[in-house]
Structure 1
Amino acid sequence: MPKSARSFADDLRARTDAQLRVLLAARPDLTRPAPADLTSLAARAATRGSVQRALDRLSADRLRVLEAVLVDGADAAPKLLKTTKRNVQAVCRTLWDEALLWRSPEGFRPARAVAEILSSPARLGPPARELGVPDRSADAPAAYESLSGGAKATIDRLRWRHPRASFDGPAATSVLDELITAGIVVRADDGGGVIPREVGLALRGGQLYEDGVTPPTAPTRELPAHDVDADAAGAALDILWRVDALVRSWDTSPPRVLRSGGLSVRDHRAAASALDADLELAAFVIEIAYAARLIANDGDFEPSWLPTAAYDDWADSGRASRWATLATAWLDSSRAPSLAGTSSDQGTINVLSTEVGWPMMRTRRHDVLEILAGIDRSVGVPTEYVDAVLHWQRPLRLPEGAPTRADEVLREAAWLGVTGRGVLSTPGRALLAGGGAAAAMDSAMPAPVDHLLLQADLTAVAPGPLTEQLHSLMQAAADVESRGGATVYRFTDKSIRRALDAGRSASELTEQLTVASPTPLPQPLEYLISDVARRHGQTRVGTAGCYLRNDDIAMLDAMSSDRNLSALQLRKIAPTVVVSPAHPATVLEMLRQHGYSPVAEGQDGHVIHVGGGHARAAAPAVSGPPRLDAVTSEVIDEVIARARRGETAAAGRSANGSGPRIPSTDPTVTLAMLQNAAADGSAVWIGYSDPGGVLHRTLFRPQRADGGRVTGSVGKGGSESRTFSIHRITGVAPA
């Protein structure tokens, strides 16, 4: 057990290097920037912001032990929490490791900021002495039994939830008067009522919490492991098809970007219809494609959502690799697709809009998957259990009643194939571990088939997932009619024309389908391919930047043969019409430079004036989430070594009679050190500047520090009282 110390700062300065390593690893914010010495480290560890971050990471059992110490000390904690002394001592040692408790001669005491942040530990009210009333906890149980039904119901609602309540109306006021008369409630300054801490504890039977320090009970429903991975692989194949179908659809008919950003409700519904999905699943498919950078805003004058170059690389990779790209993007994304379609202050939230972003979603996905990973591989996990564990792990960040979005995370994980039948799949575990997800999913996926069952009704049945080559062929030449254990495709005029537009010839298409079919190619399919191919390409469409027309055929011939205009690549398509691939403004300028007098005309034939286009900035790149450098063991060792050197230098200067070194401290650290000294009743050395800017130093015994000022006595005798502004104090050092 740690030895006792006279103050929090002395407690921390007395720690060994190994104990400091544990502290800095648990609270990495203390390493940035590196403290000058151990005194500065102790001051920073006592600041409200740092303590708040440490408390936010506590699980419910550790937080409840800390609250028990706040309420009645470490010795009473086992009774308050209905647990063993050994358990409490183990947790207290962990809290001491993190500098949330320190060892005083009277036992473990919370750091000063802990009491400030946890001002209502275990939802209990202020102590009776703070309320200025006597302790009537001994009479509380009997007083409760003597209450009327309405007063009892009021106490039952407040007993475990909150110590304060408002009482509005005549009936409520009479209840408040009854409770005050019974000594259970004290009238508050705002006219409401507050239950003193001692009375509230007595009404709870001497317990801080009904469930003590017992975590949620893990489920026991077991499932065959191979069914889990098979279910996950099926979901993975389905999401790959949906993402690919969405991006291919937007490649040919890109939807517009709303002026406010995002996708319109109409386009969202159209995507859901095309994917044969509900709006929630369609929103997830769109958002996961965006997170994986497969689609993006093209940044045009009238912007559209289009595939990116990354999509082409993604489409050419293997199916397991494609899934791993989507799964990794989902795990690292801070976007919450479930928000699409809900209402906000600005109206309905659109898919792909900035309002879909929720910074905590990334952390929540990791938290949920970590919970699933901690359960046996064959046990299905219900949403209620995950929700309860999240509340248990982060009780301050997720107080009782706060939504966790665990149901949304689990639903997305099931859609993606990270889970199967409510169990974290083998590929999901590899994804969470940070490596091997693609290989794990490749093993889970069924072996691809290399043949089709072609029917005379222009359909084809794929009895399983197709090989990459055959899958690419069917995507180009047929439309999916139904999906399931087997996929049914249908050949149509439009689908065959799509394959021919992509560069396949009719003979090549017929040959590839013949090779893929174990039976001869059905005659109706041959006729369909031949008929579409006969009509394909009869009409030709080309591109031209502009046209020139002139009733003077000789003038047009002169322009076409003019070597000075060869860069315009003029080509006659009719006796009085010439076309050029150049921009109209470029053609006008060059013709005028070489002695011609052209004018520009609009689509209706009227003369217009054509000016040069305005240069526009490129669309800004989307920045990734902020990432902090990890606090490695090397960094921690360097911080400790620097603090030790600073402490040794300060001790050397003190021994030489020059007085303690007063390091420069920022106002937050200064205020924390002065508040600690006031709470401990100890003196400190301070450096300060007077109104003329001259620096001074003095021995100071602070008594009260708040509101940007500190009041106390100066000098060794402590006879003179002084008040200093915090911003004028340049540094603080222990006396």
Structure 2
Amino acid sequence: ADEAATAHAAERAFTTVSALADILLLARDRPFALLAGGTISAGEKRMLSDAGMAPESIDALIAIVTDAALVVQVDRQLRITTAAEAWLRSSVGDRWSTLVRGFRDSLPRGVRTERGGWSPAASWPLAHPWDAAWPERSSALLQRARLLGLLTDDDGETAWATALRNGGDIDASALTALLPAEVDRIFLQNDLSAISPGPLAPALDVRLRTLATRESAAQASTYRFTPESIAHALVLGETEQTILEFLESLSLTGIPQPLRYLVTQTAQRHGLVRVSVEPGTGRTRIDSSDQHLIEAMSVDQGLRALALTREGASLSTRVGRDTVYWALTDARYPATLVDEAGTAITGERHPAPPAPAPTTPDYGPLLQALRSHEGPDADAAWLDRELDAAVRARAVLRVSVGMPDGSTRDLVLEATGLGGGRLRGRDRAADVERTLPVSSIRAATIIEQ
């Protein structure tokens, strides 16, 4: 590919990596619902489209993170893995390398080479000419290669893709040299917004997005702090002190007074509602120093499914503690989980499952079962089936017959019948009808049908 096409491919790879980070962050907060065929539902695609992703690329993006083992299917849901948590905090080069490694390792054998690379992309549509589903699959593979910056718009090959095609190691240095430099500082504004003057370092971006909502995604991104976003960070284990320390280290302009006030006020309110388990009964108990909140929850129609009952100054329910906690959090009550000693604990709504370990098919039990059913008459049974099939097809057989003197004679017969332990057929060489005992036949091979 020429220089301009290569630069455009690098830009597209950067956009793809950023879009995949957005997908993983969304799936971390709320796993995607899957259809019976394993694809995400139309509602999930609409949500991703509203988040700024091209609808025609969503399936390809999901396939890329699936091949890289960053997401896994669990109970008809698409959830991120523990590997995705580390990936989100990696540099752009490391992120891209992980995605390309997963793409390369998942390529089908028809386009893989013995050296660990792949055949030229132009040959992919012809790799399986007799497979009716292959044109669609090869087109999807080429789309993923373009999204990862391995191919240009006209399917030219980028410089960093050539070494990979030849089976070389993954090296992102040529790609990252064409990308904008990352920044580690932002501007905090009095209107509770934040502006990043360039692509924010991934680890900083991930943590900042637990405190604020990103309003625009570009080389200069904009974030917005709200009471809900700060409360969300407190639910995930942040405190007033950790939030302010992080913002101090990140800001080029200090922390504006309105933002400091928002963090302090939200942190003071957080934890007013405590959710615990009664030691004696095992029921879930809701306590608060603000009785107005207790009264509001007891009559809240959105919490009717919890069947809350009043017990003095508290509320009680048979529903599990974690379910109650997340229901209150979704209803925007300042809830927190506490243990038996009254210590606040951090709850994870959708804990990431570990990435599935690669498995190699074990055919040992199958082979053992087959051999256990192989009796002394297995060869005879197989010969009977072969002869019966030849008779049905009126095939010409080359038959090896054991003679009484111990010798073996080959005959060419046109099989005409099988019954009573005997094979009937016309001997083409002698032009006579012969009847042979099946027990005397050592081997039979079909030579013409």
TM-score grouping bracket, smaller chain normalisation: 0.5 to 0.7
Distance 1:288 1:444 in 2: 22
Cα 1:515–1:410 shift into 2, 3 Å: same
CA contact (8 A) 1:547 1:577 kept: no
Residue of structure 2 equivalent to 1:425: 158
Residue identity in the other structure for 2:442: T
Distance 1:258 1:405 in 2: 19
2:319 counterpart of 1:542: no
Partner amino acid, structure 1, of 2:16:
I
Q: CA deviation at 1:435?
A: 4.9
Q: Residues 674-713 of structure 1 correspond to what in structure 2 (within 5 A)?
A: 686-687=400-401, 698-702=408-412, 713=427
1:289 and 2:23 matched? no
Alignment correspondent of 2:146: 414
1:310 is matched with 83
**How does 1:501-540 map onto structure 2 within 5 Å?**
501-540=235-274
| Contact 1:543–1:581 (Cα < 8 Å) also in 2 | no
Tell me, what secondary structure is at the counterpart of 1:411?
A: helix
1:328 match: 101
| Inter-partner Cα distance in structure 1 for 2:439 and 2:159 | 57
2:2 equivalent among 213, 217, 223: 223
Q: What CA deviation, in whole Å up to 9, does each residue of 1:397-454 have, x standing for no partner?
A: 379x984654433222222333344433344344444552254555665442222233
Return the alpha-carbon distance in structure 2 between the equivalents of residues 705 and 323 of structure 1.
64
Is the contact made by 1:463 and 1:485 (CA closer than 8 Å) also made in structure 2?
yes
Name the CA distance, whole Å, in 2 between partners of 1:510 and 1:452: 14
Amino acid of the structure 2 residue aligned with 1:474? L
Asked whether the equivalents of residues 448 and 464 of structure 1 are also in contact (C-alpha less than 8 Å), the reply is yes
SS at the partner of 2:442? strand
Which string of whole-angstrom CA distances, capped at 9 and with x for unpartnered residues, describes residues 278-332 of structure 1? Answer: 3332223333333333333434xxx644333333343354443333333333344
Deviation, 1:508, is: 3.3
1:450 to 156, 181, 184: 184
Give the C-alpha shift of residue 277 in structure 1: 1.6
Deviations 1:341-389 (A, max 9, x none): xxxxxxxxxxxxxxxxxxxx735665995224xxxxxxxxxxxxx3xx4
Query: In the superposition, relative to structure 1, how do residues 583 and 515 fare at CA in structure 2: closer, same or farther (>3 Å)?
Result: closer
Q: Which whole-Å CA distance do the structure 2 matches of 1:292 and 1:266 have between them? A: 24
The answer to whether the 8 A contact 2:276-2:284 is kept is no
CA distance in 2, matches of 1:506, 1:695: 100
TM-score, scaled to structure 1: 0.39
Compute the RMSD of aligned alpha carbons: 5.1
Check whether the contact 2:88–2:206 (CA below 8 A) recurs between aligned residues.
Answer: no
User: Structure 2 CA distance, aligned partners of 1:706 and 1:238?
Assistant: 70
Q: Which residue of 2 aligns with 1:244?
A: 21
Aligned length: 353
1:234 is aligned to 11
User: Are 1:269 and 2:46 counterparts?
Assistant: yes
Identity %: 25
In our comparison, the structure showing a higher alpha carbon Rg is 1
The 3 A distance-change label for structure 1 pair 246 and 574 is same
Would the alpha carbon gap of residues 312 and 390 (structure 1) be closer, same or farther in structure 2, given more than 3 Å must change?
closer
Give secondary structure in 2 for the equivalent of 1:540. Answer: strand
Q: Secondary structure at the match of 2:194?
A: strand
| Cα distance in structure 2, aligned partners of 1:695 and 1:481 | 94
More strand by share: 2
How many angstroms apart in 2 are the aligned matches of 1:262 and 1:728? Answer: 59
User: In 2, Cα distance between the equivalents of 1:292 and 1:285?
Assistant: 11
CA separation of 1:408/1:582 partners in 2, compared to 1, >3 Å: closer, same or farther?
closer
Higher helix share: 1
Distance 1:523 1:414, change over 3 A: farther
Once residues 424 and 728 of structure 1 are traced to their aligned partners in structure 2, the CA distance between those partners, rounded to angstroms, is: 65
Contact 1:321 1:438 (C-alpha < 8 Å) held by counterparts: no
Gaps of 5+ in 1: 1-221, 334-360, 373-385, 549-572, 585-620, 629-662, 675-680
The match for 1:370 is: 119
Q: Does 1:436 align with 2:436?
A: no
Conserved 8 A contact 1:239-1:416: yes
Assess if the C-alpha contact under 8 Å between 2:215 and 2:223 holds in 1: yes
- Quote the residue 2:296 is aligned against: none
Q: What is the distance in 2 between the residues matched to 1:727 and 1:481?
A: 84
Distance 1:582 1:541 in 2: 12
1:460 pairs with one of 190, 194, 219: 194
1:619-658 deviations in Å (ceiling 9; x for gaps): xx89868699xxxxxxxxxxxxxxxxxxxxxxxxxxxxxx
Which amino acid in structure 2 is aligned with residue 290 of structure 1?
A: T
Q: Which sections of structure 2, spanning at least 5 residues, go unmatched?
A: 286-309, 322-355, 364-378, 391-395
Per-residue deviation at 1:258? Answer: 5.1
Instruction: Report the TM-score, using the length of structure 2 for normalisation.
Output: 0.59
Structure 2 CA distance, aligned partners of 1:423 and 1:474? 38
* SS of residue paired to 1:423: coil
> Partners of 2:273 and 2:313 in 1: how far apart?
22
Matches within 5 A, 1:195-234: 223-224=2-3, 227-234=4-11
User: In structure 2, the residue corresponding to 1:437 is in which secondary structure?
Assistant: coil
Question: What residue number does 2:303 align with?
Answer: none
Which residue pairs with 2:443 in the alignment? 731
Q: Deviations over 1:190-218 (max 9, x none)?
A: xxxxxxxxxxxxxxxxxxxxxxxxxxxxx
Amino acid at match of 2:161: G
Residues in 1 aligned to 2:313 and 2:231: alpha-carbon distance in whole angstroms: 35
- Distance of 1:235 and 1:391 partners within structure 2: 23
- CA displacement, residues 503-529 of structure 1 (integer Å, 9 cap, x when unaligned): 333343333333333334444433433
Does the Cα contact within 8 Å between 1:390 and 1:398 map onto a contact in 2? no
